[in-house]
Amino acid sequence: MGQVDIVVGVQWGDEGKGKWIDIFSANAKIISRFQGGNNAGHTIFVDGEKIVLHQVPSGILREERICTLASGTVINTEGILLELKTLKAKGIEVNPERLRLSSRAHVITPWHIYLDAKDNDWIGTTKKGIGPTYESKASRFGLRLAEFIDEGTYKTWLAKMTSHFADFANMYEKNSDQWSAFESTRSQVAPFVSDVECFLREQIKKNEVVLLEGAQGSLLDINLGSYPFVTSSSTVASGALSSIGFSPKAIRTIYGITKAYQTRVGAGPMPTELHDDMGKYLAEKGREFGATTGRPRRCGWLDLVALKYGVEVNGVDKLILNKVDILNELPEIKVCTSYRHPTDPDAQSFFAEPEKLSKVEPIYKTLKGWKSDLRQDHMPQEFRDFVRVVEDFCEVPIVFVGTGVGRDDFISLS
Ligand code: GDP
Ligand code: IMO
Ligand code: MG
């Protein structure tokens, strides 16, 4: 038994992973991202000051924590350097001891960003080059950090790309400024690059507390999400195992985070999406605008069918119900407890086909609102009933409840 905890989002992202990683980092030595890249936007408020992190793990805000990006991540090197600059301006010094980038992680190049902008509008991607970078990885044309920081192997990669892809040389020549800026990051990121997976395994063997930070949400998982409207990596807890390479037996707790309602950014089915005033209310009250792209998030009532699926595919041990404060003033709160499909009576679970999912009618259970601000010493019966419905439906205990953006804004239920 090790001391590895995993924190994953169990919806379509933006559940509040950053805030909870920051809270849990108080008791961890190492915090590692295991997938995704700067498509993520994790927002944290410390002493009233807002910090948005895209790639650097949210544990970096606490002194002496070591943060790593493991093999399954994709890295925008300019983005990393910019985040370090922003952190420095806020008085947070990050050196290569504290931030370690895996030599096996793949690099997002201007070519990948160009392809994402050109080809992937129909998914509504973040246009950060994430999908094309994972595509290059799978087709064995990828550029890893190990090869990027070495001039010789980088030139070999450039030559290989030029000879295999007719467009590549053209794009490289036409966008020389972009490529120069990208290439100039090589020497600056080099000191941060190392065998992160080996380091993490050693730490796990020493029984250090390691916290693994999910990005995106489980319903965006490349294998188990609402394909093709998904991201390009495995966002669920088991994805961490293949990225870092350690024994599943080392996992202590899998925390799943859900909002008390539903949101989604980008295209794809969302059974409980609301196009009415209630949808607008949730968006405004919850400040539901993308932390990476600024796009408005689609909002709706909590979808328990999708949530249960998310809980199950991760093997969530403990659920965190976040942003309940957004519902504080509502006289009635709905949760979706089943789907009704116009022709298929068996279409009850979060099934694979997006066409089918886009046609279901959500069936709601209506609960009474608690109509007050919640505190550890003030949990009205209506609120307890809401918690019980979610727990019973998803068959998992809710251990914490988020009541605001700050580090201390939560209630413990355990
Ligand atoms: P992440 O991508 O999962 O880290 O989540 P984001 O940072 O993209 O979005 C979550 C948003 O909700 C951020 O603006 C947080 O500051 C905010 N937030 C987190 N927890 C709570 C909470 O319990 N209540 C409220 N009102 N806001 C929260
Ligand atoms: P965090 O970590 C919400 C969505 C995009 C799009 C799809 C594919 O902050 O929860 P991509 O650029 O990954 O190829 O886009 O995935 N998406 C997110 N939605 N939060 C995120 O990250 C997301 N990262 C990607 O909107 O629908
Ligand atoms: Mg986010």
Residues of the chain with pLDDT under 70: 1
Q: What is the pLDDT of residue 200?
A: 98
> What are the E-state strand segments in 178-264?
193-194, 210-217, 251-259, 261-264
Distance 43 CA to ligand 1 centre (A): 6
The CA–CA distances, whole Å, from 4 to 105, 201, 262, 263, 317 equal: 21, 11, 28, 29, 13
Tell me the helix, strand and coil percentages in the chain, rounded to 5. 40, 25, 40
Q: Which tokens go with 142?
A: 């990828």
d(CA 278, CA 414): 31
CB 256, CB 319: distance < 8 Å: yes
Q: What is the pLDDT of residue 235?
A: 98
The sign of the torsion formed by the CA atoms of 317, 31, 237, 128 equals: positive
Q: What is the pLDDT of residue 218?
A: 98
Q: How far is CA 190 from the centre of its chain?
A: 26
Q: What is the pLDDT of residue 12?
A: 98
The CA–CA distances, whole Å, from 76 to 46, 218, 302, 345 equal: 25, 23, 33, 46
Sort residue 64 into left (φ over 0), alpha (ψ -120 to 50) or beta.
left
CB 383, CB 324: distance < 8 Å: yes
Please pick, among 5, 42, 106, 116, the residue that the annotation labels catalytic.
Answer: 42
Q: What is the pLDDT of residue 352?
A: 87
CB of 41 closer than 6 angstroms to any ligand 2 atom: yes
CB of 46 closer than 6 angstroms to any ligand 1 atom: no
State the CB neighbour count (10 A cutoff) for residue 379.
Answer: 16
Quick check: is 106 catalytic?
no
CB of 217 closer than 6 angstroms to any ligand 2 atom: yes
Per residue in 107-150, pLDDT (tens digit) is 999 999 999 999 889 999 999 999 999 999 999 999 999 999 99
Per residue in 390-411, pLDDT (tens digit) is 999 999 999 999 999 999 999 9
Per residue in 330-370, pLDDT (tens digit) is 999 999 999 999 998 877 788 888 889 999 999 999 999 99
d(CA 108, CA 182): 10
pTM for this entry:
0.97
**Nearest bound ligand to the CA of residue 22:** 1
Q: What is the pLDDT of residue 291?
A: 80
Q: What is the pLDDT of residue 299?
A: 98
**176-183 and 166-174 helices, crossing angle to 10°:** 90
Q: What is the pLDDT of residue 293?
A: 85
Q: What is the pLDDT of residue 61?
A: 97
